[in-house]
Amino acid sequence: MQTIGVIGAGTMGNGIAHVCARAGFDVILCEVSQPALERGLAAIAGNLGREVAKSKLTSQEAADAQARILPASSLEALAPCEFVIEAATEKFDVKAQIFRTLDSFLAPGAVLASNTSSISITKLAAATRRPMQVIGMHFFNPVPVMKLVEIIRGLQTSQATFDAVKALSEQLGKIPVEVNDAAGFVSNRVLMPLINEACYAVMEGVATPEAIDTIFREGMAHPMGPLTLADFIGLDVCVDIMRVLAEGLGGAKYNPCPLLVRMVDAGWLGRKSGRGFYTY
């Protein structure tokens, strides 16, 4: 396999394209919005530049990696890809439509991986005529730095598909961990209730965001406290994932904290909007 398609040039998509190109693969980076595509390419250049500054890459290696990324604005451009990683909007209908379209023209052996953080791989697989070749490949932000790839097997995913994705993750320098398909998988099933509970602690006046984050940084050696992390992930993403947990697993403990919902309603989405638990 030489060419990997990546769909979506947002934070996750551009990070995935970065690590694939850095590992020597040709990448076709597909993004429908031209400004978003340009922002994604600029982010990759900036992040490769950081790696050069830290002597993790030579400037020639960074230039070669950037040159291996071919930008595209339509899904049809992904026709030569044997492997596609989708990192589009976190909405089932959007992802299912992308998978159906790709399924109609990609080579029969091509694998479709989704970087979804919580949507059912089993349901996505069922939207295609190649359910055995559909799998979850959940990367973590910032993708060039975080080692984990959570590999999610749908009910229909074949062993050959799983083995190929595990091998690819290792080629990308990542540490793959296998989980089965269930709401939130493992990462977000455990992380999001922690973040949600931290929001309740703020709402109830138990402590300030700064105090809560200091407790986790200095008491539990987390690199970021839960509320800084929530701002980093995006408060809208946190609410969406809590709703997936509430629907998929049931029980009041998964309801998004009312304060979190109000902040999202106000347009306070965290770092990307300039305001969340902190101002940026």
Site membership for ligand 3HC, residue 140 (CB under 6 A) = yes
CA separation, residue 186 to residues 60, 66, 177, 198 (Å): 38, 33, 10, 19
Comparison of 40 and 144: residue with beta carbon closer to ligand 3HC: 144
Among 41, 183, 230, 233, binds ligand 3HC (CB under 6 A): 233
Among 66, 101, 141, 158, binds ligand 3HC (CB under 6 A): 141
Which one of the spans 63-71, 75-83, 140-148, 170-178 is the region binding ligand 3HC (CB under 6 A)? Answer: 140-148
Site membership for ligand 3HC, residue 221 (CB under 6 A) = no
The shares of helix, strand and coil residues in the chain, as percent rounded to the nearest 5, are 50, 15, 30
From CA 6, how far away is CA 15, in angstroms rounded?
10
Comparison of 63 and 79: residue with beta carbon closer to ligand 3HC: 63
Continuous H helices in 127-225: 159-171, 187-203, 209-214, 220
Q: Is 117 one of the annotated active-site residues of the chain?
A: yes
DSSP structural state of residue 279: B
Comparison of 113 and 233: residue with beta carbon closer to ligand 3HC: 233
Q: Is 157 exposed, middle or buried (0-12, 13-18, 19+ CB in 10 A)?
A: buried
Smallest gap from Cβ 52 to ligand 3HC, in A, equals 10
Q: Is 188 one of the annotated active-site residues of the chain?
A: yes
Which one of the spans 34-42, 46-54, 100-108, 154-162 is the region binding ligand 3HC (CB under 6 A)? Answer: 46-54
Task: For the chain, report the end-to-end CA distance as a whole number of angstroms.
Answer: 42
Beta bridge partners of 113: 85, 135
Helices (H) and strands (E) in the chain, counts: 12, 8
Site membership for ligand 3HC, residue 229 (CB under 6 A) = yes
| Phi, psi angle pair for 37, to nearest 5° | -65, -45
Smallest gap from Cβ 38 to ligand 3HC, in A, equals 17
Site membership for ligand 3HC, residue 112 (CB under 6 A) = no
Which one of the spans 101-109, 142-150, 153-161, 271-279 is the region binding ligand 3HC (CB under 6 A)? Answer: 142-150
Smallest gap from Cβ 107 to ligand 3HC, in A, equals 29
Smallest gap from Cβ 77 to ligand 3HC, in A, equals 25
From CA 10, how far away is CA 205, in angstroms rounded?
35
Q: Is 61 exposed, middle or buried (0-12, 13-18, 19+ CB in 10 A)?
A: middle
Residues belonging to the active site: 117, 138, 150, 188
**Positions in the binding site for ligand 3HC (CB under 6 A):** 47, 50-51, 54, 117, 140-142, 144-146, 187-188, 223-224, 229, 233, 237
